[in-house]
């Protein structure tokens, strides 16, 4: 039994949830997120809560039960509060700036790196901290991973782009004989 799948998702005030042919649509204002379940789980909306039920008894069905419940919970939480990730830039001359819908990064290469900000995301830069915000957890995490991938932190001096809560294991440099 899935401990996650059993839990009901409470629908916050002002949010509308509909189920149509295995597609769960979560709406708040003009924003909406669709979660496609491919009819692998039973979904029922009643009394201000979303409940999930098993369709079969195989281990794959139980995995889908918890997975689709988590994806739907992320959609509800994303539209209600939103998700954010923070990245920190370390290094001499390393900087970032948002210009319109483009994040411009100077990361020690001979050229600037221009990252087009995806629709639905908001990226802000304050000193050496880049904050990625949005309503889709997957989209926020993917954008943060792409930005980090432009210059991963190196273990000797710690230069590069890292998550603010990430700890870089430092290595000792060369030693003289």
Residues 71, 10 within the same domain: yes
- Report the distance separating Cα 160 and Cα 152, nearest Å: 5
Residues 34, 87 within the same domain: no
Backbone angles phi, psi at 80, to 5 degrees: -80, -55
The CA-to-CA distance between both ends of the chain, in Å, stands at 61
Residue 177 has a pLDDT of 74
Residues 64, 133 within the same domain: no
Residue 2 has a pLDDT of 61
Residues 122, 75 within the same domain: no
pTM reported for the whole predicted model: 0.89
Query: What b-and-e string marks burial along 8-29, b requiring 16 or more CB atoms within 10 Å of the CB?
Result: ebebeeebebebeeeebebbbe
Name the token pair of 107: 């990361």
Residues 119, 149 within the same domain: yes
Which of the residues in the chain have pLDDT under 50? none
Structure-token match 């700036």, residue found = 97
Residues 39, 21 within the same domain: yes
User: Residue 45: inside a domain, yes or no?
Assistant: yes
Structure-token match 């000193």, residue found = 127
User: Residue 18: inside a domain, yes or no?
Assistant: yes
9 and 49 Cβ atoms separated by less than 8 Å: yes
63 and 79 Cβ atoms separated by less than 8 Å: no
Residue 126 has a pLDDT of 95
Residues 87, 156 within the same domain: yes
Residue 1 has a pLDDT of 55
- Report the distance separating Cα 5 and Cα 54, nearest Å: 9
Report the domain count for the chain: 2
Residues 7, 69 within the same domain: yes
| Domain-ending residue, one of 27, 47, 80 | 80
Tell me the residue range of the domain where 73 lies. Answer: 3-80
CATH number of the domain where residue 9 is located? 3.90.930.12
Residues 45, 114 within the same domain: no
């Amino acid at each position: 039994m899935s401990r996650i799948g059993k839990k009901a998702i409470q629908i916050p005030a002002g949010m509308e949830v509909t189920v149509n042919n295995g597609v769960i649509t979560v709406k708040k204002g003009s924003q909406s997120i669709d979660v496609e379940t491919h009819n692998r789980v039973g979904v029922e909306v009643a009394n201000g809560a979303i409940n999930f039920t098993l369709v079969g008894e195989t281990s794959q069905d139980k995995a889908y039960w918890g997975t689709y419940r988590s994806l739907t919970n992320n959609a509800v939480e994303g539209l209600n509060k939103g998700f954010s990730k923070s990245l920190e830039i370390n290094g001499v001359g390393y900087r970032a700036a948002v210009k319109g819908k483009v994040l411009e990064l100077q990361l020690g290469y001979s050229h600037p790196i221009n990252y087009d900000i995806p629709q639905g995301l908001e990226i802000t830069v304050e000193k050496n901290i880049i904050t990625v915000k949005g309503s889709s957890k997957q989209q926020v995490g993917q954008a943060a991973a792409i930005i980090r991938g432009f210059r991963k932190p190196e273990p000797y001096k710690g230069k590069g782009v890292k998550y603010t809560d990430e700890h870089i294991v430092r290595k000792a440099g060369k030693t003289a004989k």
